[in-house]
Amino acid sequence: MTQKIFKPLIILFCALILYACSGSKEANSIVYGLTLAPSGIDPHLNASAELGIPLSSVYDTLVFQDPASGEFVPGLAERWTISDDALTYTFYLRHDVTFHDGTPFNAEAVIANVEYTTNPDHHSFKAALMLGPLASVDKLDEYSVVFRLDEPYAPLLDALSQVYLGMASPLALETWGPSEYQFHQVGSGPYRFVEYVPNDHLTITRYDDYQWAPSIYDQEKASIDTIVFRFYEDSATRALALESGEVDVIGEVPHLDAARLDSGEDFELHPIAIPGQPLQFMFNTQRAPTDDVRVRQALIAAVDRPEIVATIFGAYSPVANAPLTAVTKGYTADSPFPDYDPERAVDLLDTAGWRDDDGDGIRSREDEPLQIQIVAPSWGLNSEVAQLLRAAWEKVGATVELEIAPGFGPLNEAQAAGEYHLIGINLFDSDPDLLRPFYTSDGFYNWSGFTDAELDGLLTQAAQATLDTELRWGLYAAAATRIRDQALLIPIRDYVNLVVTNNRLQGLHFSAQGWFPLLIDLKLAP
Amino acid sequence: MKRAADLLALSWLVIIVGLAVFAPLIAPANPYHPIAEPLLSPREHFPLGTDGLGFDLWSRLLYGCRISPGASMLAALLTLSLGSLLGFAAAVSGGLIDRLISAVINAALSVPALLLAMLLVAGFGPGLTTVILAIGLGGAPAFARVVRTLSLQLMEKEYVYAAEALGGSRLHIAIRHLLPNAAGHIVSLATTHYAWAFMGVTTLTFLGLAGDPSLPDWGAILNNGRAFLIEAPWLVLAPGLAITLTILAIHRIGASFTEPKLPARIR
Amino acid sequence: MVSFTHRPETSALRTVVRRLLEGLITAWAAVSVTFFALRLAAGDPLSGLLSRGLATRAQIEALRLSLGYDAPLHLQYLRYLAGFIRGDLGVSLYTRRSVSQEILSQLPATLELALAGLLIAVVLGFVLGILSAWKEHHCAGKLSILLTGLATALPVTFTGILALYVLRSGYSYLPEGSVRPIQHLVLPALVLGFATAGGIARVVQAGLRDSMRKPYMLAVQARGIQSGLRYLWHALKPSLPPAISMCALQAAFLLSGTVITETIFARPGLGRLLIDSILDGDFPIAQGIVAVVAIFYTLSHIIADLLSFAIDPRLRRRA
């Protein structure tokens, strides 16, 4: 009798499994896991690094950058010349390129792209800024175009090698306009954009007529037919997605999961070092007590950074010791940030006048307790780092308040309100000029509020030293020393993206920016 | 058997309260400071190991005794006050006021309570206080409805008619006659509701709506443990069991109010 | 809500129509509650945009005008209602995309999980409830009572994670290709269904125990139906309406529970969207999701009531 009652349950269970099993993967397609769903995915307008993962293969750029040597190689431009005063760049374009919608690629297409990107009504958050002091783009003839700058601008070629300045079909840009174009993107790259359903998936398929692969690609044409991108914002679920076969490759896998997956036979780990800024917290130099350089130095000395990195990031991330990560051009190891030295921290605080006279464990000066406010973004394990920073600083007698900003908007808001002593912010780029908005007096991201003519001079000069790379790196080294001496930030770790693939995939390698896979070279294992 | 269960439930709750009160004295470590290497197992680090940042799990759970049951108690109290007030007011006033209040209650009941609470958190902004407020407000409509029904039933009783006949005002009757008789039912209802509020608060903190991820609320600890599920399952087991046992205990206590009590001899 | 006026028995069609109309009113109430609850809690919905660097103060004011946030509250409410009926739920403050589009793209996944969970909850709930009442003194009955108690006390947050742990430990034992569907649908639906079944089982158990003692069961026995499934059916029938309406009430629990299971099992759906919108302060999306879910909840009540009317014609009289 009892069994008869259980029958419906068993039937239901079987039916459920059968239903759930329906729907299988096509043979020659893979699923790539992305880690956050950007609010907009038009590379000309939006700043997210995530969008570059699929779209770097949808667009070609005028030049490409060799990931190994950092050298610039021809892309859509066969060759180019730079004038002696570094103000004029002439690009001679390929004649044989057509966009995915059949429109021919030529000088007018380049101009249309630049106009679309720099149009102030379109609110480009990254691409337009990457063009720097661009004055004009003019057509020389059908396949030649001239970029004129107001001032020398060394990062220009690097900028032009990135997906944000990828060349899109002028017809598509015109037809769809800035808000709709992101759903109908047309480039000339090895993959064609098919569709994007926000928060759900993005699909690209191979472009069969691709014939202008740059030298940095191993293959002339893509082998995998279709790549579907899905979103996995919750880091605890990324390993899950791999293990269940839901995705074939995914990045930013937590280090424990990555190690575990790598130790088995079914998965492979590709740790990719990312150029740009390390995970860091910038000091607010305009607010007591962090307006005193001795306090800042004390706070840095009070933290055992290698231990924090080992706890949170395991063995895969080098400790950061400079405002740039070690793999970035222009990085120097000559002026590292000081090591953990708790005694020095105590000395500095004492000297600066912060003492614990009443024995309550909290230092004070003139009846003001030593209060530190940290604002940490919620992504990239920043909040975990902040929690350990808080513990370290409470040990040396500070009271620490921690605020987590759940998104970039709230982070910006907190910064504008000025109520922070430390704030977590970092950007990635293959060119060290990304330091300029952070460390020049009127820089857009000068969240430390530090104004220094010397630093301004160094960074501006470095931005203009187009033709003399030795000079450039020297200037950045000097800037790094100044930044270190002034203790403008506490650097934590160099970013290493832990990308894990399953056994179906071979040939995964990444662009010079570190984040963007060269999807054309992906192959399915035989 | 039931008696033993009641006793266990009561003891568990007493223990939790005791731990909460004496947490700063008992806890071996500061719940916000790392005490050892991360992810040590209970065998390596007595008694419950360390979490992903090296914090002592036992200390965090101890401090969580103050936060999770306390926050849900506050929320439940809010529901109790607001819900009882509305329910009574509706029943005793009758007429237009009753219909107005009932309409608002029924409208609010058309939205699942937990989702309504989440919506309120959306409005107030994430944080522990807003979670308390949201769960407190979200549970009020259902509570109010039951109190109203209860009051209406009680008002049909003879002694109310008698009081009215003797010339008492409605408010007077309500306070002197309804309240004492309703009190028992309401306490039992409140206890069951406390279990719901507890589950609600821990769920919202689990989902990250309490803002500060370092807060040692049991729901938040459970969520933090997810990332280390394979390597350190105790990080999930401990808070999960704590939550479950507390809910079980509250349910048991609530049920014991409504069950008829047999004299010891008959069993 | 059922009014207790006594009327002669009405036709089935009339009952259905009346119930649907009531449902419409309830749906309207749900949408209104979500609107006002959010507005009263939030204050100025655009305050977050100002410092993002996404818009200057002037642009915010322009946006305020274009989105109609400058109008008095009751006017905004009426416009929102009108838009809702048309299918326009506003635009996301964060991405400026249509809220209804975002919700529609995630709705199927959540509905799939919710329906699967509901199915399991109903079947499991009835099985547990029947066994608890009918085989009260047997092993099966005692086990069912225990399971029912666990189902109501174990939080979904915990059971979900435990289920996930069991699955991940046992990957190697599972047949090829079955892991994905199990993790993606079967397991979350089971977890959700189990948690929801508790309440249903309780009502079924109580109702069945009650009706098994009623005099008419003697009449049933006198007709020769002593035991077995037919006996059960006769005992069960009168206790069905409250059980069905309990299923509808539990639908609320179920719908809230999809948020949790979607998070734990990394399933796409409205849950993730809702949590992100709450943390971002993206009010139109949060409001839209809760309103849409509330409408489905209302729908479940309507279906439950209609089922009850079909089973027990006496209830129609009261409608």
| Global ipTM | 0.86
pLDDT of amino acid A498:
96
**Contact in structure between A161 and A79 (CB atoms under 8 Å):** no
d(CA C53, CA C144): 58
Q: Considering the domain boundaries, does residue C4 fall inside one?
A: no
**C1 lies in a domain?**
no
pLDDT value of residue B60: 94
Cα separation, C114 vs C122, whole angstroms: 12
With CA atoms as reference, the chain C residue closest to B198 would be: C155
* DSSP, res C8: P
* Region label for A86, one of left (φ > 0), alpha (ψ between -120 and 50) or beta (otherwise): left
Tell me the C-alpha distance between B129 and C41, whole Å: 13
* C2 part of a folded domain: no
pLDDT at C66 over 80: no
Q: Which long-range contacts (CB under 8 A, 24 or more apart) does C163-171 make?
A: C163/C187, C163/C190, C163/C191, C164/A240, C164/B229, C164/C264, C164/C265, C165/B229, C165/B230, C165/B233, C165/B236, C168/A240, C168/A243, C168/B229, C168/B230, C169/B230, C171/A243
Q: What confidence score (pLDDT) does residue C111 get?
A: 92
Residue of B212, B213, B228 lying closest to A256 (CB–CB): B228
In a domain? residue C85: yes
* pLDDT tens digits, one per residue of A144-165: 999 999 999 999 999 999 999 9
pLDDT at position B266 is 45
For all residues of chain A together, what is the average pLDDT? 91
User: Are C48 and A409 inside 8 Å of each other by CB?
Assistant: yes
- ∠ Cα C312 C313 C319 (to 5°): 105
Is the pLDDT assigned to residue A517 strictly greater than 90?
yes
Share of residues in chain B with pLDDT > 70 (%): 88
Contacts of A390 in chain B (CB under 8 A): 32, 214
Range scoring the smallest mean pLDDT among A199-213, B121-135, B157-171, C149-163: B157-171
Q: What are phi and psi of B167, to 5 degrees?
A: 95, 20
Residue A224 neighbours by CB distance under 10 Å: 22
Give CA–CA dist B150/A498, Å, rounded: 60
Chains with ≥3 CB–CB distances under 8 Å to C: A, B
Select from A260, A383, A394 the Cβ nearest to the Cβ of B230.
A260
- Beta-carbon contacts of A457 under 8 Å, excluding residues fewer than 6 positions away, are none
Global pTM? 0.87
Across A36-40, A506-510, B2-6, C174-178, least confident range: C174-178
Confidence (pLDDT) at B124: 85
Interface residues of chain A, partner chain B, Cβ below 8 Å:
235-236, 254, 256-257, 260, 311-312, 378, 383-384, 387-388, 390-391, 394-395, 402, 404, 406
pLDDT band for position B206 (cuts 50, 70, 90):
very high
Is the pLDDT reported for residue C85 higher than 50?
yes
Q: Of C56 and A64, which is predicted with more confidence? A: A64
Residues of chain C with Cβ-Cβ distance to A228 below 8 Å are: none
pLDDT given at position A2 = 59
Residues of A in contact with B53 (CB under 8 A): 311-312, 384, 387-388
Name the one residue in this structure whose structure tokens are 């699929």.
A54
Q: What is the CATH number of the domain that holds C178?
A: 1.10.3720.10
- Give me the pLDDT at residue C173, please: 75
Round to whole Å and give the CA distance between B208 and A346.
36
B228 to chain A, any CB pair closer than 8 A? The answer is yes
| Domain span including residue C49 | 10-318
In this structure, of A33-42, A138-147, B30-39, the range with the lowest mean pLDDT score is: A33-42
- For C277, which residue in chain B has the nearest alpha carbon? B122
Q: Is residue C303 part of a domain?
A: yes
Q: Cite the DSSP H helix spans in A356-451.
A: 382-395, 408-417, 436-439
Closest CA to B109 of B75, B148, B77, B74: B148
Quick one: pLDDT at residue C51? 42
Q: Is residue C3 part of a domain?
A: no
Contact yes or no for C260 and B118 at CB 8 A: no
Mean pLDDT over all residues of chain C? 81
- B267 pLDDT higher than 60: no
Count Cβ–Cβ pairs < 8 Å, chain A vs chain C: 116
Contact B251 C153 (CB under 8 A): yes
Which partners does chain A have (≥3 C-beta pairs < 8 Å)?
B, C
In chain A, residues with a C-beta closer than 8 Å to the C-beta of B226 are 236
Determine which helix (DSSP H) or strand (DSSP E) holds A149, and give its type and residue range. Answer: strand A144-149
Is B32–A406 a contact, with Cβ atoms under 8 angstroms apart? no
Query: From the list B103, B115, B206, which residue is nearest C157 (CB)?
Result: B206
Cβ-defined contact of B107 to C32 (cutoff 8 Å): yes
Closest Cβ–Cβ partner in A311, A312, A404 for B212: A404
Could you count the other beta carbons within 10 Å of the beta carbon of residue B234? 20
Q: Is the pLDDT of residue C105 over 90?
A: no
Q: Locate all alpha helices (DSSP H) within A269-304, ordered by sequence.
A: 293-301
B106/C1 touch (CB, cutoff 8 Å), yes or no = yes
CA–CA distance, A258 with C83 (Å, rounded to integer): 47
For the segment B178-188, the average pLDDT, to the nearest whole number, is 79
User: Are C156 and B203 in contact (CB < 8 Å)?
Assistant: yes
User: Shortest CB distance from C29 goes to which of B107, B119, B122?
Assistant: B107
Asked if A199 lies within 8 A of C116 by C-beta distance, the reply is: no
Q: How far apart are the first and last CA of chain C?
A: 9
pLDDT score, position B43: 87
H/E element holding B26? helix B2-26
Exposed, middle or buried, A342 (CB in 10 Å: 0-12/13-18/19+)? middle
Contacts of C281 in chain B (CB under 8 A): 122, 125
Number of domains in chain C: 1
Tell me the average pLDDT across A64-84: 93
Chains that touch B (3 or more CB pairs under 8 A): A, C
Of A24-28, A230-234, A447-451, the least confident: A24-28
Residue C259 lies in a domain: yes
| pLDDT tens, position by position, C236-286 | 777 788 888 888 888 888 999 999 999 888 888 898 889 888 887 788 889
Verify whether the Cβ–Cβ distance A394 to B32 is below 8 Å.
Answer: yes
- pLDDT of C128 above 80: yes
Contacts of B216 in chain A (CB under 8 A): none
- Binned at pLDDT 50, 70 and 90, residue B159 comes out as low
**Beta carbons of C52 and A413 less than 8 Å apart:** yes
Strands (E), A6-86: 29-34, 63-65, 72-74, 77-82
**Contact between chains at C41 and B226 (C-beta distance less than 8 A):** no
Percent of chain A past pLDDT 70, that is, above it, reads 97
Q: Give A292-303 pLDDT, tens digit per residue.
A: 999 999 999 999
Mean pLDDT in residue range C81-98: 80
CB contact under 8 A, C256 and B112: yes
Rounded mean pLDDT, A249-278: 93
Give the span between the Cα atoms of A467 and A154, in whole angstroms.
8
Inter-chain contact C51–A413, Cβ cutoff 8 Å?
yes
Is residue C152 situated within a structural domain? Answer: yes
Interface test with chain A among C183, C236, C262, by most A beta carbons within 10 Å: C183
Residue B49 backbone zone (phi > 0: left; psi -120 to 50: alpha; other: beta):
left
Q: ∠ CA C219-C225-C229 to the nearest 5 degrees?
A: 120
